Structure 1
Amino acid sequence: MFWLLVVLLLIAFCWFIYKKLNYWTNKGVKQKFKLFFMNKSFSEYFLDSYNEFPESRYSGVFQFSRPMLMLRDSELIKQITVKDFDHFTDHMSFIPEGVEPLWTSNLFALKGDKWRDMRATLSPAFTGSKMRAMFALMSECAQEVSKYFENNPEESKSIELKDLFTRYTNDVIATCAFGVQCNSIKQRKNEFYLMGKLLTDSTGIWKNIRFLLYMMMPKLSNLFGISFFNKRVEMFFRCIIKDSLKMREENNISRPDMLHLLMEARKGRLNYEETSAVKETGFATAEESEIGKTVKKVKDPITDDTITAQALIFFFAGFDSVATLMVLMAYELTVNPDIQERLQKEIDAVFEENDGVITYESINKMKYLDMITTETLRKWPAAVGMDRVCVKPYTIAPVAPDEVPVNLNIGDVISVPIFGIHRDPKYYPNPEKFDPERFNDENKVNIKPHMYLPFGAGPRNCIGSRFALLEAKVVFVYLLAKFNIVPTEKSEIPFKLSKTGFTFNSKNGFWFGLKRRD
């Protein structure tokens, strides 16, 4: 009897695995099951999956054992992320609600109406008028970077760019989100920076295994004390927010940062005010949908924990990913010195026209700077892909002769392979080449809609695109006005993508120098 039970359980298990691994085949979709062994970078693995069925509008892929439908067709991407957004409102969840409150209550993780309410609450914090107010804070941080290397020429000869730019993004987020002033280049071990590194560092085999375990078995991981956020980091940010809120309320302090805006939202005094053109911060700027522009009364109260959760995800998203954009932009400018020189001429002209002062308006009129930033995000997008979860039954109607209706169930996951699309020669000829001219006035109108997605698509696009673009542009204007970014003996050109982590990292670091301009 015992052995019969074992056999039956084994048969049931094999049947479950068979059904799981043939999930898309059973729906009439071409699929390929590939295991991620860390023998290549996550982005390269993602690109391979994209290239499996180049003639298909979609194909079945797997994230570990979870089936996902990967979209390749621009019209289908638009249909699902924009037109039929009400069927695909949520992101994929890998942490059950209640397990990590500071994660499950942030804007990225919230679902349904809770997400809609929070998006409408936070969107006014990222309009052009708010960016104009934060521009002064960013400029102070960028000028500190430039001044430091002017005053310390020996240190400018060999710099690890990821370290440099994470220190800059740390200081920008500290001042623009938390109202805390840091100078992480001078004070290299300040607590805010160290906590930021702990929060965002995903390098190392053990950290990757920990992350994968948490994704696959969050409740069990939590039981064994494996948390998504480092507990020291969580406590640090809780204390920072609590103390800042108390000080501001008691002393009636007003400052143009995110913390003040969230306090205003809590009092019901924050409205969406767009006073300038949507694309003022550049071609890559993600346009806010009507959901974000709609003023709604939030059903759930905005607590200190709610504010901490939003500030924490803002830090999590902006500390490493925006620094990575800057690193790769610097890398491309170094290996393409003619492009760097042309950009410096534009920067010099703007300084001369504005009597040595850079304003919010002048930086947003710099066309070549925007073309370079846009092309960097084309070649090296902030996220290799995005996901959407089906929340209502949905059918993808057949278009090609070999297609059948694809019936999606509640919980099915859609994957949009941004990195694959941006590297597809069908949309971007010679995609490995760094070519800002793809985005000049004549050519950018030919970019196919929904085939350029550095900050996602639809109402759930990245809320902080304007902030990220402005932050990157400001630091390059001040650095390139004084310095050339040059290769050194330690520079790795071309660089080798690290096989650990989920972002674009160099296996041996990004070592370059800053050479004072004549």
Structure 2
Amino acid sequence: MFDHTKDYFNVFLRRESFFDMMKRLYDTFKDERYFGTYQGSIPVLTVCDPEIIKQITVKEFDHFLNHKPIVPTYYGVDPLWSKNLFSLRDTEWREMRSTLSPSFTSSKMKIIFSLMTECADNYVNYFLKQKKPIETECADNYVNYFLKQKKPIEIELKDTTTRYTNDVIATVAFGVTCDSINEKENEFYRMGKKTTTFTFLSNMKFLMYSIAPEFCKAINLQLFSSDIYHFFNKLIKDTIEAREKHGTVRPDMIHLLLEARKGKKVDDSSTEVIDTGFATVQESAIHTSPTKPIQEITDMDIAAQAMIFFFAGFDSVSVLMSFMGYELVVNPDIQIRLQKEIDDTLEECNGKLTYEALLKMKYMDMVISETLRKWPAAVITDRVCSKPFTIEPINPGETPVHLKVGDSIFIPNSAIQRDPKYFPNPDTFDPERFNDENKGNIKPYTYIPFGSGPRNCIGSRFAILEAKTIFFFMLSKFTFVAIDKTQIPIKLSKKSFNLAGENGIWVGLEQRSK
């Protein structure tokens, strides 16, 4: 084991980005199957070998069921965080994951896509005619907003894409209409921004929870401010009351949780073969097998699931969109080829995009997949040992590693996906890695942008569909170009745990000639 305590403190003190730190540590021990560090006072085993990753996340999953809790559930200090799907443990997690899985099937994505396109038509008509009241939900909202501009305009991609993801989540999950591109400070967007912005104080809270959880409990230290709690609790309460009053049924997680509260389990036996893309993770059989109904689902439980869905959808998906936009700017040949595929698809659809047509676009999926390889929103995934487990030695000089209950495991997926032995010339943005001929040669468990095994990301289909939709509409009308503010090569911000540009990710939009 190696002591790299100072590395984590450098991240918390904003001296190095989390992405750069993990890449540096991985490269330092590139010939090792694993290495040890300390996160504060807590030892962490970082696993680099694909076969061990398979063992931990799939074959011996029962030994590594849980994530390391940022705020331990039993403390009761921060219920919005400790009760969400990411933080739940053991049986509680199994039951909640099984309940929520039907929200993210391919058939549900098709319904969600239909909702998006209906809203997009309304949005296009508003901006074209300048008569109808603003109704926002989808990609065309943003396309037509920019079409009104008479000259190429400068945009910061993270800001722009979070406004899009905010509006999609608002309508798909909560049935709330937002227009974050025009109404810049609407409450829904403002709370989303506040929830996902990690200030220096936020970093210190995370650090305190990682090294002194009992002290945090004693002083009742909460990750989020009281207005965020009030917002999500009121939002869920109002949504539930409105649905029960009007008998509203929407294909989302709130509906599934309300049904589970009544003792019902929604079955989705869809056998559709079309899926959102190569990077989509598949649901494990344990999520679709019968389980006993979750008992005593409270409004707080529902609010906690809504919060984590909002958190992931608002910020993580916008990371994918932001870095994809950047890569299209610095790789114009790739952008031209993608626009050609978009133009051909529109022609085949007679000008109206369909769900099936979008998901059959091979080059679009290749570009998305390569973005997720080079810039995964999750820098690491983690597990906690729940049963004693031993990693047996294989290489010369190794000794058995005996993991005990409570030991933490990091899987540095972002660094693995930049390893030249798995992905030659890893810093080059090359969608051809994912063409029909090459993608089958990718070594299993070296490409895991959404994690692996039963505890993978539940929202991979949603994220990929959302990104494909916005880029289809944007690139059908605009070309992403470099401007004076575009930082090439990009440098990562040291102020955020999440991937972000040091000075934002600025690009220009030039309207395409017909």
Q: TM-score, normalised by structure 1?
A: 0.91
Pair 1:403–1:266, CA change in 2 (3 A): same
Q: 1:123 aligns with which of 77, 101, 104?
A: 101
Counterpart for residue 30 of structure 2: 54
Q: CA deviation at 1:41?
A: 1.1
RMSD: 1.6
Counterpart for residue 79 of structure 2: 101
Pair 1:219–1:472, CA change in 2 (3 A): same
Counterpart for residue 389 of structure 1: 384
Range that drifts further, 50-59 or 427-436: 50-59
User: Which segments of 5 or more consecutive residues in structure 1 lack a partner in the other structure?
Assistant: 1-23, 25-29
**Does 2:118 align with 1:135?**
no
Range that drifts further, 459-468 or 292-301: 292-301
Give the 5 Å matches for 1:392-403: 392-403=387-398
Counterpart for residue 413 of structure 2: 418
Give the 5 Å matches for 1:83-482: 83-97=59-73, 98-139=76-117, 140=120, 141-154=138-151, 157-202=153-198, 204-221=199-216, 223-224=218-219, 226-267=221-262, 268-277=264-273, 280-482=275-477
Amino acid at match of 1:330: G
Q: CA deviation at 1:258?
A: 3.1
Amino acid at match of 2:58: V
Does structure 2 retain, via aligned residues, the 8 Å contact 1:129–1:273?
no
Q: CA deviation at 1:61?
A: 1.7
Does structure 2 retain, via aligned residues, the 8 Å contact 1:178–1:258?
no
Does structure 1 retain, via aligned residues, the 8 Å contact 2:5–2:39?
no
Does structure 2 retain, via aligned residues, the 8 Å contact 1:175–1:257?
no
Range that drifts further, 35-44 or 74-83: 35-44
- Runs of 4+ residues over 4 Å off in structure 1: 30-34, 222-225
SS at match of 2:7: coil
**Does 2:69 align with 1:74?**
no
- Identity fraction in percent: 53
Does structure 1 retain, via aligned residues, the 8 Å contact 2:40–2:210?
no
Range that drifts further, 330-339 or 45-54: 45-54
Does structure 2 retain, via aligned residues, the 8 Å contact 1:391–1:410?
yes
Q: CA deviation at 1:224?
A: 4.4
SS at match of 2:139: helix
CA deviations 1:396-418 (Å, max 9, x no partner) are: 11212322221111011111111
CA deviations 1:269-294 (Å, max 9, x no partner) are: 411323223x7110100111011111
Q: CA deviation at 1:262?
A: 2.8
CA deviations 1:17-61 (Å, max 9, x no partner) are: xxxxxxx3xxxxx66554332322111111111122222211112
SS at match of 2:507: strand
Does structure 1 retain, via aligned residues, the 8 Å contact 2:374–2:417?
yes
Q: CA deviation at 1:468?
A: 0.4
User: Which segments of 5 or more consecutive residues in structure 2 lack a partner in the other structure?
Assistant: 121-137
Amino acid at match of 1:263: L
Larger of the two Rg values belongs to structure: 1
Counterpart for residue 6 of structure 1: none
SS at match of 1:388: strand
Separation in structure 2 between the aligned mates of residue 457 and residue 340 of structure 1, nearest angstrom? 30
Separation in structure 1 between the aligned mates of residue 292 and residue 222 of structure 2, nearest angstrom? 33
SS at match of 1:69: strand
CA deviations 1:440-479 (Å, max 9, x no partner) are: 0000001000000100011000000000000000000000
SS at match of 1:158: strand
CA deviations 1:218-267 (Å, max 9, x no partner) are: 45345546411221011111111111111111111123333233323333
Range that drifts further, 397-406 or 70-79: 397-406
SS at match of 1:419: helix
CA deviations 1:142-175 (Å, max 9, x no partner) are: 1111111112345x51111111000001001111
Pair 1:211–1:452, CA change in 2 (3 A): same
SS at match of 1:281: coil
Separation in structure 2 between the aligned mates of residue 243 and residue 363 of structure 1, nearest angstrom? 35
SS at match of 2:45: strand
Separation in structure 2 between the aligned mates of residue 454 and residue 426 of structure 1, nearest angstrom? 18
CA deviations 1:341-365 (Å, max 9, x no partner) are: 0000000111100111111111110
Counterpart for residue 8 of structure 1: none
Does structure 2 retain, via aligned residues, the 8 Å contact 1:272–1:294?
no
Does structure 2 retain, via aligned residues, the 8 Å contact 1:371–1:439?
yes
Separation in structure 1 between the aligned mates of residue 206 and residue 377 of structure 2, nearest angstrom? 19
CA deviations 1:366-397 (Å, max 9, x no partner) are: 00000000000000012111111111111111
Between the two proteins, the alignment pairs up a number of residues equal to 487
Q: CA deviation at 1:207?
A: 3.2
Q: CA deviation at 1:208?
A: 2.2
**Does 2:60 align with 1:63?**
no
Q: CA deviation at 1:133?
A: 0.7
